[in-house]
Amino acid sequence: MNWEAVFTSLKLASATTLILLILGLPLASWLAFSKWRWKFLLESVVALPLVLPPTVLGFYVLTAMGPRSPLGHWYAELVGSPLPFSFEGLVVASVLYSLPFAVQPMSSSFAGVDRNLVEVSWTLGVSRLATFFRLILPSARNGVVTGLVLAFAHTLGEFGVVLMVGGNIEGVTRTVSIDIYDRVQELDYAAASRTSLVLLIFSFTVLALVYWLNRNSGLWPSARRR
């Protein structure tokens, strides 16, 4: 077992999840409550990583980060090293790649909060921001936790984007899934099988946790209890 790769993966997933918590809450609440007529366009952008091949996403992120793009140039000037093939670059790519997994459950649970409750809170003199933290967030707790858990697990298992943006640098950007790929290339099936089993068990545990959290609201309409 390559513990260094496991550690890199966990570090990447934690950083990604933390950033998605901070970015995801305002974005998800905007998506849930905005009445803007072009909102569906932004919804589609957020959902893109669900259907786009990771290599395509990785390619664009790589190009955008590269020293020839204004963004990449600006970052390199500021920090002193370029984003691609660094851990920070990997975090940026992972945040984009896991965005729908965090934002969609959050957003739908925010939208599910009874509108009457929100309005009563306003009439009681509580501002919109305070209403979000005192009423909407506690009511939508399960959706937020689900989003974060899914984002964490999804980041842990990503492969294509990591390979495109991070490369395969031992201790920096070599994650578990890339390590498994390397083992198979080396025909070391025993090691690949051990790491794969760990990922499988972990993924199953995470999903079981998510479904347990949502056992009364139901992620799938057909599974909803009456």
Partner 1 sequence: MNQRGTLQVSISRKFPGAFSLDVAFASEMGPGNVLVVFGPSGSGKTTLLRCLAGLESVDQGVIEFGETVWCHTENRLLVGPQQRNIGYVPQDYALFPHLSVRRNIEYGIPRSIRERERGWVDQLISVLGLEALEQSLPGGISGGQRQRVALARALARRPRLLLLDEPLSALDAPTRASLRVELRRTLRELAVPAVLVTHDWEDTLTLGDQMILLAGGSLLQNGPPLDILTRPESLTVASVVGVETILPGRRVSRERGIAEVHVDGLRLWAADLDFPDDDVFVCIRAENVTLEIGSGTRSSARNHLPGTVLSIVAAGPLVRVTVDVGFKVQALVSRQALEDLDLDIGSQAVVGIKATAIHLVPR
Binding interface with partner 1 (CB under 8 A): 114, 116-117, 119-127, 134-135, 138-139
Nearby residues of 58 by Cβ (< 8 Å), 6 or more positions away = 93, 160, 161, 162, 163, 164, 165
Closest contact distance (angstroms) between CB of 163 and partner 1 is: 44
Closest contact distance (angstroms) between CB of 205 and partner 1 is: 27
Nearer to partner 1, 4 or 119 (CB): 119
Locate 134 and state its tokens: 């005192």
Q: Where are the alpha helices (DSSP H) in 34-127?
A: 39-51, 54-65, 70-79, 87-111, 115-123
State the Cα–Cα distance between residues 221 and 219, nearest whole angstrom.
Answer: 7
Nearer to partner 1, 123 or 185 (CB): 123
Structural element, H or E, at residue 143: helix 141-156
Closest contact distance (angstroms) between CB of 120 and partner 1 is: 5
Closest contact distance (angstroms) between CB of 148 and partner 1 is: 19
Nearer to partner 1, 16 or 131 (CB): 131
Closest contact distance (angstroms) between CB of 117 and partner 1 is: 5
Nearer to partner 1, 114 or 186 (CB): 114
Dihedral sign, Cα of residue 143, residue 113, residue 37, residue 25: negative
State the Cα–Cα distance between residues 123 and 95, nearest whole angstrom.
Answer: 37
Nearer to partner 1, 116 or 185 (CB): 116
Residue 153 · residue 208 · CB < 8 Å:
no
Closest contact distance (angstroms) between CB of 226 and partner 1 is: 18
Tokens 């083992």: give the residue: 183
Nearer to partner 1, 80 or 125 (CB): 125
State the Cα–Cα distance between residues 107 and 225, nearest whole angstrom.
Answer: 22
State the Cα–Cα distance between residues 76 and 27, nearest whole angstrom.
Answer: 27
